[in-house]
Amino acid sequence: MPISKIYKLYFSGDRKYIRSLKNILGFVPNNLALYKLAFRHKSAAEEVKTGVKNSNERLEFLGDAVLGAVVAEVLFKKFPFKDEGFLTELRSKIVNRIFLNQLAKKIGLSDLIILDTKSINVAARTGSLLGDAFEALIGAIYLDKGFDFTRDFIIQTIIKPHVDINQLEITESNFKSKLLIWCQREGKILVFELKETTENGNKKLFTMEAQIDGKAYGIGSDFNKKNAEKMAAEKACLELKI
Amino acid sequence: MPISKIYKLYFSGDRKYIRSLKNILGFVPNNLALYKLAFRHKSAAEEVKTGVKNSNERLEFLGDAVLGAVVAEVLFKKFPFKDEGFLTELRSKIVNRIFLNQLAKKIGLSDLIILDTKSINVAARTGSLLGDAFEALIGAIYLDKGFDFTRDFIIQTIIKPHVDINQLEITESNFKSKLLIWCQREGKILVFELKETTENGNKKLFTMEAQIDGKAYGIGSDFNKKNAEKMAAEKACLELKI
């Protein structure tokens, strides 16, 4: 970036905002509007055109895809002798909502998020809001600085200091264990119940339901019972905002 | 690439192979081994290390992610006033197996694929094999030439000449219509049956089943009935290899 531009940014009314961004991200953004958009929760969005609001949801869509590609490459190269099933599962442990929420909190995104606290409830505030903003931030960096810069940012600033891939590799799939830990803490009983078995040629499709204290919270279907349970647990986590 | 390397490649035993690749891709690859791996179906894979086979499945995992990111950006920029739900749905019409199979066939990948016809049946051969190889090819190009090159390749060589985004925008979600078209052609009756409604707080979770001539082929659950039908249709398409 030319010095004149840095000078202009630093002495604009956004000086303080740029400084907080630089502290968190480690670089000075070019297009500040993109980052402001990334941190604008839908509760605080304004209509910029008939039917179009300036929330971070579009950037989240883009950032989710870019993050997925970078994490895929990191795992592909880190584990040259593991198959695609292993890589897919390990990636889902990194890019899932719960993990991204924690990550966003760790790097200090909470203070930057703009939301309307009157119009959303506490559950929504502690829900996927931080992880969504994190993904939107990745989308903003991608549009602002390009792929290679974003890739370096994800690897150097996020993965290396904050993600212990070797630890994730040995932990159980996140949603099931998250749900179990939450139930244990809340003194509730978690049961996965087989609701239905559908014969499908020579295959069986299992529908599993995650029940907490006897109440249904999520359902999942797969040809593998464990996978159906994971899907059910994921839905229950989303439903319970954990 | 230095002229000496091009010279070496052209006069190696792989000369004919490189020429076919160049005809299809429009460029000369650097690392030929990556492309050979991208076209090696698991039926023809050899064990390169204990428990590790040289099939294209790992490259497919990587290519799927890179393709997803590029298509996300294309749609994000093409539709600046559409929300993330629209973008997600439109992307799934481009990156789904059926569409990618057709695309791979169109650009002529069929002849490059290495498979063991003895060990796989006809259904598998006409299944997702081509689309899988196409994704693996994207993974190979990414590792060989980097993101920007791959992005240009996807946009200039694939999307611009072969993908009519405006047409896709107005077509119904692919899996449901694909399944319906197939059933009509085969003279079969397709029904989506509501199998279960689960009360979930003030939300209802619907489980829909795709039945063809009364037989269950796929099940899907969502808080929205239409989405549950789409999931069920997607599973039925995969099951029927269409």
B127-162 b/e (C-beta count within 10 Å ≥ 16 → b): bbbbbbbbbbbbbbbbbbbebeebbebbeebbbeee
What residues contact residue B180 under an 8 Å CB cut-off, 6+ apart? B190
Sort out which chain B residues have CB atoms less than 8 A from A139's CB and list them: 76
Inter-chain CB proximity B219 and A209 less than 8 Å: no
Q: Can you give the pTM of this predicted structure?
A: 0.73
- Whether chain B has a CB inside 8 Å of the CB on A217: the answer is yes
Q: Which positions of B are catalytic? A: 64, 135
Residue B50 has pLDDT above 80, yes or no: no
Pair A137, A228 in one domain: no
- Please state at what angle helix B57-78 crosses helix B84-95, rounded to 10 degrees: 140
Which pLDDT does position A121 carry in this prediction? Answer: 60
* End residue of a domain, out of B170, B201, B231: B170
Q: Whole-number mean pLDDT of chain B?
A: 86
Number of A/B CB contacts below 8 angstroms equals 115
Pair A72, A161 in one domain: yes
Pair B71, B157 in one domain: yes
Instruction: Report residue A158: phi and psi, to 5°.
Output: -105, -65
Q: Summarize chain B as % helix, strand, coil (round to 5).
A: 60, 15, 25
Which pLDDT does position B39 carry in this prediction? Answer: 95
Pair A109, A52 in one domain: yes
Question: Strands, E, within B13-100: which ranges?
Answer: 47-49, 52-53
Instruction: Report residue B196: phi and psi, to 5°.
Output: -165, 145
Pair B164, B202 in one domain: no
Inter-chain CB proximity A62 and B83 less than 8 Å: no
Q: What is the predicted ipTM?
A: 0.72
**What mean pLDDT do residues B60-88 have?**
95
Q: Exactly one of A60, A132, A135, A144 is catalytic; which is it?
A: A135
- Whether chain A has a CB inside 8 Å of the CB on B221: the answer is yes
Instruction: Check the CA dihedral B96-B101-B106-B108 and report its sign.
Output: positive
Which pLDDT does position B172 carry in this prediction? Answer: 55
Pair B156, B221 in one domain: no
Residue B49 has pLDDT above 90, yes or no: no
Which pLDDT does position B40 carry in this prediction? Answer: 93
- pLDDT profile of chain A (242 residues), mean per 10: 63 82 94 95 83 90 97 96 89 85 91 80 64 96 98 96 86 72 77 82 82 88 83 88 80
Amino acid letter at A46? Answer: E
* Count, residues in chain A: 242
Mutation for testing the B interface, residue in A42, A52, A62 having most B CBs under 10 Å: A62
Sort out which chain B residues have CB atoms less than 8 A from A221's CB and list them: 207, 219-221
Sort out which chain A residues have CB atoms less than 8 A from B196's CB and list them: 195-196, 207, 219
Pair A110, A122 in one domain: yes
Choose the closest CB to A207 out of B57, B84, B207. Answer: B207
Higher pLDDT, B135 or A213: B135
* End residue of a domain, out of B139, B170, B201: B170
Report how many domains make up chain A. 2
Higher pLDDT, B73 or A221: B73
Asked whether A191 and A110 are in contact (CB, 8 A), the reply is: no
Pair B11, B105 in one domain: yes
| CA of B126 vs chain A CAs: smallest distance (Å) | 19
| Domain-embedded: residue A130 | yes
| Domain-embedded: residue A136 | yes
Which pLDDT does position A174 carry in this prediction? Answer: 67
Pair A71, A128 in one domain: yes
Q: Give percent of chain B with pLDDT exceeding 70.
A: 88
Domain that holds residue B54: 3-170
Which pLDDT does position A6 carry in this prediction? Answer: 62
Pair B214, B95 in one domain: no
Q: How far is CA B97 from the centre of its chain?
A: 4
Q: How far is CA B172 from CA B71, B75, B218, B241, in A?
A: 19, 17, 19, 20
Out of A178-182, B7-11, B234-238, least confident range:
B7-11
Q: Looking at residue B131, which CATH number applies to its domain?
A: 1.10.1520.10
- Whether chain B has a CB inside 8 Å of the CB on A153: the answer is no
Pair B180, B165 in one domain: no
| Domain-embedded: residue A19 | no
Which pLDDT does position B123 carry in this prediction? Answer: 46
- Please state at what angle helix A97-106 crosses helix A174-186, rounded to 10 degrees: 80
Half-sphere exposure of B10 (CA within 13 A, CB side): 9
